[in-house]
Structure 1
Amino acid sequence: MDTAYRFEYNPGIIRQGRNCVASLSDELAGLDCERAMVVCGQTVGSTDAVMDPITDGLGDRLAGVFDETTPKKRLDTVFDGARRVDELDVDALVAVGGGSSLDVAKGISAVAPAEADEDTIAEQFAAGGLLPVPDDDPLPVVAIPTTLAGADLSILGGITASPSSGLVEKPVGGGIMDPRLMPDVLCYDPALLETTPREILQASAMNGFDKGIESLYAANATPVTDAAAVRGLSLLWDALPTLSDERESWASSDILEGIVLVQYGISQPSGTTLSLIHAFGHGLTAHSDVQQGAAHAMVAPAALDYLFEHADGRRELLARAFDIDTDEYSREEVAAAIIEEVESVRDALGLPAQLRDVEDLAREDLDAVAETTMNDSLMGNCPPDLDPTVDELRGVLDSAW
Structure 2
Amino acid sequence: MDRSDGFRFEYRPGVLRYGTRCVEDLSDELAEQGFDRALVVCGTTVGDTPAVIDPVTEGLGNRLAGVFAETTPKKRLETAYDGVEALEARDADVLVALGGGSSLDVAKVASLLAGDDRSPEAVGRELAETGSISSPTGSTLPIVAVPTTLAGADLSDGAGVTASPASGLVDEPASGGVSDPRLMPRAAVYDPALFATTPKPILAASAMNGFDKGIETLYARNATPITDATAVRGLGLLDEGLRRLGRNDADVRTLEPVVRNLLLVQYGISRPGETTLSLVHAFGHGLTRTDDVQQGAAHAVIAPHVLRYLFDRVDGRRDLLAEALDVDDARDAADAVVDAVAQVRDALGLPSRLRDVDGPGPDEFPAVAEAIVADSFTANAPPGLDPDAAEIEAVLRESY
TM-score (norm 1): 0.96
Alignment of 1:275 onto 2:278: yes
Deviation of the 1:231 alpha carbon:
0.7
Map of 2:297 onto structure 1: 294
Change in 2 beyond 3 A, CA 1:384/1:252: closer
Whichever residue aligns with residue 364 of structure 1, its letter is D
Map of 1:133 onto structure 2: 135
Deviation of the 1:251 alpha carbon:
4.3
Select which of 195, 198, 218 maps to 1:216. 218
Q: After superposition, where does 1:175-254 map in structure 2 within 5 Å?
A: 175-244=177-246, 245-246=248-249, 248-254=251-257
Map of 1:313 onto structure 2: 316
CA contact under 8 A between 2:96 and 2:144: conserved in structure 1? Answer: yes
Which stretch of the first structure deviates more once superposed, 50-59 or 121-130? 121-130
Map of 2:22 onto structure 1: 20
Deviation of the 1:358 alpha carbon:
2.1
Whichever residue aligns with residue 392 of structure 1, its letter is E
Report Cα offsets for 1:36-55 as digits up to 9, x if no partner. 10000000001101111111
d(CA) in 2 for partners of 1:361 and 1:182?
32
d(CA) in 1 for partners of 2:359 and 2:216?
27
d(CA) in 2 for partners of 1:108 and 1:304?
35
Deviation of the 1:247 alpha carbon:
5.6
Map of 1:256 onto structure 2: 259
Deviation of the 1:389 alpha carbon:
1.2
Deviation of the 1:253 alpha carbon:
3.7
Q: After superposition, where does 1:148-159 map in structure 2 within 5 Å?
A: 148-159=150-161
Alignment of 1:375 onto 2:358: no
What's the secondary structure of 1:224's corresponding residue?
helix
Deviation of the 1:126 alpha carbon:
2.6
d(CA) in 2 for partners of 1:359 and 1:94?
31
What's the secondary structure of 2:288's corresponding residue?
helix
Whichever residue aligns with residue 370 of structure 2, its letter is E
What's the secondary structure of 1:302's corresponding residue?
helix
What's the secondary structure of 2:312's corresponding residue?
helix
d(CA) in 2 for partners of 1:210 and 1:253?
19
Deviation of the 1:30 alpha carbon:
1.9
Query: Would you say how many aligned residue pairs link Structure 1 and Structure 2?
Result: 397
CA contact under 8 A between 1:243 and 1:250: conserved in structure 2? Answer: no
Map of 2:39 onto structure 1: 37
What's the secondary structure of 1:68's corresponding residue?
strand
What's the secondary structure of 1:89's corresponding residue?
coil
Deviation of the 1:118 alpha carbon:
2.0
Deviation of the 1:3 alpha carbon:
2.6
Alignment of 1:285 onto 2:288: yes
CA contact under 8 A between 1:276 and 1:382: conserved in structure 2? Answer: yes
What's the secondary structure of 2:384's corresponding residue?
coil
d(CA) in 1 for partners of 2:271 and 2:82?
29
What's the secondary structure of 2:206's corresponding residue?
helix
d(CA) in 1 for partners of 2:25 and 2:385?
46
d(CA) in 2 for partners of 1:338 and 1:36?
44
d(CA) in 1 for partners of 2:31 and 2:115?
20
d(CA) in 1 for partners of 2:328 and 2:88?
58
Deviation of the 1:360 alpha carbon:
4.7
d(CA) in 1 for partners of 2:29 and 2:222?
33
Runs of 4+ in 1 over 6 A off after TM superposition: none
d(CA) in 1 for partners of 2:114 and 2:97?
15
d(CA) in 1 for partners of 2:109 and 2:293?
24
Change in 2 beyond 3 A, CA 1:66/1:384: same
Whichever residue aligns with residue 321 of structure 2, its letter is L
d(CA) in 1 for partners of 2:255 and 2:199?
17
Alignment of 1:173 onto 2:175: yes
CA contact under 8 A between 2:97 and 2:107: conserved in structure 1? Answer: yes
CA contact under 8 A between 1:37 and 1:64: conserved in structure 2? Answer: yes
CA contact under 8 A between 2:98 and 2:148: conserved in structure 1? Answer: yes
What's the secondary structure of 1:310's corresponding residue?
coil
Map of 2:360 onto structure 1: 361
Whichever residue aligns with residue 318 of structure 1, its letter is L
What's the secondary structure of 1:311's corresponding residue?
coil
Query: Structure 2: which 5+ runs fail to align?
Result: none
CA contact under 8 A between 2:297 and 2:357: conserved in structure 1? Answer: no
d(CA) in 2 for partners of 1:304 and 1:250?
32
- Identical positions, percent: 55
Whichever residue aligns with residue 45 of structure 2, its letter is T
RMSD: 1.3
Map of 1:341 onto structure 2: 340
Deviation of the 1:307 alpha carbon:
0.2
Map of 1:161 onto structure 2: 163
Map of 1:350 onto structure 2: 349
CA contact under 8 A between 1:150 and 1:263: conserved in structure 2? Answer: yes
d(CA) in 1 for partners of 2:121 and 2:163?
13
Deviation of the 1:252 alpha carbon:
4.7
Map of 2:101 onto structure 1: 99
What's the secondary structure of 1:371's corresponding residue?
helix
Whichever residue aligns with residue 169 of structure 1, its letter is D
Whichever residue aligns with residue 204 of structure 1, its letter is S
Whichever residue aligns with residue 172 of structure 1, its letter is A
Whichever residue aligns with residue 117 of structure 2, its letter is E
Whichever residue aligns with residue 64 of structure 1, its letter is G
Map of 2:74 onto structure 1: 72
What's the secondary structure of 2:5's corresponding residue?
coil
Whichever residue aligns with residue 390 of structure 1, its letter is A
d(CA) in 2 for partners of 1:359 and 1:115?
39
